[in-house]
Chain A
Amino acid sequence: MSMEIKSIQKDSLDKLFNSLKSRGNLIYAPVKVKNEVQFDFVEKFEQITDDFIQTTQSVKNSVFPKIETLFKFVKTGKEVKMLDMDMSLIPEIVIWGIHPCDVWGFDSLRAIFTWDTHDMFFEKRMDKLTIIGMSCAKADDYCFCTSVNLGPGSTKGSDVLLTKTGNGDYIAELVSDKGKALATSMPDVFVQAVQSKKEDFLVVVEKRFDSESLIPKMQKKETFDSPFWVTNSLRCLGCGACAYVCPTCACFDIQDEGYGARNIRFRCWDSCGLKQFTIHTSGHNPREVQSQRWRQRLMHKFAYMPERNKVTGCVGCGKCSRACPVDMNIAEQLQEIDQKM
């Protein structure tokens, strides 16, 4: 697929926003909340900010909500009636200003949610997305996208990728058919490409390791058995922070909740870092201690998913490291494994 390139002048970005909005889309965009920037549904263009390196949480909530009601059930006497969710209520969402790492997170999620059984909630939500990515002009030393085959200007997964140029205008790469159709439908917004080179406006992200070399190392039995895991996770507290902020972590729990006769079954986020995650009804826990859980987290992303799903389960965003209360730095640990194993 050849990529078409257009440009958007700085004053027409709000036109793009308003047109998308008037077509009935919900717009999920980065907004400033207290000291942080978070994705939220926005009403006005002015609410959006592009002044951030990373949001604390990923955007996975848009396709893998922290709570997804799977069905409802109503009890009347001895009768139980099941009520399916109305899938037609799932809205069209435009994800606006999302960075390339977060965009590619959807691909990891897709690999998991369509691996054998196709998860209809996930797929339906995914179908309804339009992704307007934004290249990165800033990074910090938690970022390591270039170590996992991505980069600050990676177009993978976006429908349109915008790069802000020196004068404030945007280079608009039309990556997918959806992106091309969008541009065609708004000829006054997507105008003739300018002569700037996108690379000039991207931040440089140092490569910490090479996933091509790391993955086979992670898959070795000696790595699994290495004392590395205990030594490097003694301080891990076993919470869910790293998994909940991660764009690719897909573990969930399924629970029922009742309000008298009205009940719901839902799935909600869960984490392999939590002690309860693998506990059996008998009380036996195959992942008895935290080092096994920390190992699972990295192994799942860098050994099992590459083998089973043909993708790396990490996009190098560094959100987990920033969120971790005890400075468990994933890039640092992966780098060490790549160097030593």
Chain B
Amino acid sequence: MDSLRRKAQQLLESKEVDCIIGYNEGSSGNVHAGFITTPGQAEKLIFDDRCKQNLGVYLTKHEVMRLGKLAIVAPVPVMRTVLILTYECQIVENSVKVLGIGLDGQFLDFNEYADIEKYLTDHCNEHPEEDKKLIEKISAMSVEERWDFWHETLKPCIKCFACRQACPMCYCVRCQVECNQPQWIPVQSSELGNMEWHFMRAMHLAGRCTGCGDCGRSCPLGIPVHLLTFKMSDVVLDNFNTKAGLTIKEPSTLSTYKANDKETFIR
């Protein structure tokens, strides 16, 4: 942690960056994202087991982008987020300084994204054990049982969209759930509407999920929606032998992006 703070302080002193997105002590024993803009504040940076939020979500938020040149404290899912966002043209290669935190908790000072790619080749995050077990259990169900399981699990969803807003990959200016001409997904939080919303979300994240688990963690009702995108990652891995966010050179498995696409609705 000392090396992280020292580096942060030095980056701000030398004006190499204007803001460091990291973790700070929060209220009631929580931690929360902090936006460090002066060298003196660097000592507020912390890193421990509670620091789970995928801070990569802030890299596409306007008011954060306006702060100037950014650095980000990046455990492995955040590293992967940075690479995906780079490939998807949301950030420019090497523009955001990455203050890595390895799987072993050590500080990693990356100079460029190629170094992150190198690190990730043999240090990728895996789903936590309890999630693996749950996914196994759900996968072993018959189609009918699985339908019932998700029907019951998603029934309480109030469509607050915390899961979407917490996900760094859900950066669309206009989400499909908000399109009403024509309307694709029912606006109301009804049993079928909830299913449609979550299946759509899972499909849009298939092969793009970094495994951070923030969607599930952010749900106020404790609905484990991350299991859907985790499962999609497993399916992609089994079928295509790829994982999202390990490189900036290739598109994610199920989606491509062309800067010169002739359709204007794609930005």
Contact = CB atoms under 8 A, between A and B. Distances in A.
B28 A142 contact: yes
Nearest to B55: A235
Nearest to B57: A237
Interface in B140-192: 158-162, 164-166, 178, 180, 183, 186-190
Given A57-B158, A240-B159, A325-B217, A235 B32 contact: yes
B30 A67 contact: no
B222 interface: yes
A139 to B, nearest CB: 12
A327 B26 contact: yes
B222 A34 contact: yes
Range class of the B interface residue count: 35 or more
B221 A234 contact: no
Contacts of B53: 325-326
Contact of A237 (B26, B62, B162, B178): B162
Interface of B: 26-28, 30-35, 53, 57-58, 61-64, 158-162, 164-166, 178, 180, 183, 186-190, 214, 217-222
A276 B178 contact: yes
Interface of A: 34-36, 56-57, 66-67, 140-142, 230, 234-235, 237-241, 243-245, 253, 255, 257, 266, 268-269, 271, 274, 276, 288-291, 321-323, 325-327, 329, 332
A274 B159 CA distance: 12
B63 A239 contact: no
A206 B83 CA distance: 47
30 contacts: A57-B220, A66-B158, A140-B28, A234-B64, A235-B33, A235-B35, A237-B162, A237-B165, A239-B162, A239-B165, A239-B218, A240-B160, A240-B161, A241-B218, A241-B220, A244-B158, A244-B220, A245-B220, A255-B180, A255-B187, A257-B188, A266-B188, A268-B187, A321-B27, A325-B217, A326-B33, A326-B53, A326-B166, A327-B27, A329-B26
Shortest beta-carbon contacts, A-B, top 10: A325-B218, A323-B220, A240-B160, A327-B32, A237-B165, A239-B162, A239-B165, A327-B26, A235-B33, A329-B27
B103 to A, nearest CB: 24
Contacts of A289: 62-63
B188 A255 contact: yes
B160 A239 contact: yes
B58 A235 contact: yes
Centre residue among B26, B30, B63 by max chain A CB count within 10 A: B63
B160 A332 contact: no
Given A36-B221, A255-B188, A244 B160 contact: yes
A230 B160 contact: no
Contacts of B162: 237, 239-241, 323, 325
B224 to A, nearest CB: 11
A238 B166 CA distance: 9
Contact of B188 (A36, A67, A271): A67
A34 B164 CA distance: 23
Nearest to B187: A255
Nearest to A258: B183
Given A290-B63, A329-B28, A257 B161 contact: no
Given A66-B189, A241-B220, A325-B218, A234 B35 contact: yes
Given A66-B158, A326-B33, A327-B31, A291 B165 contact: no
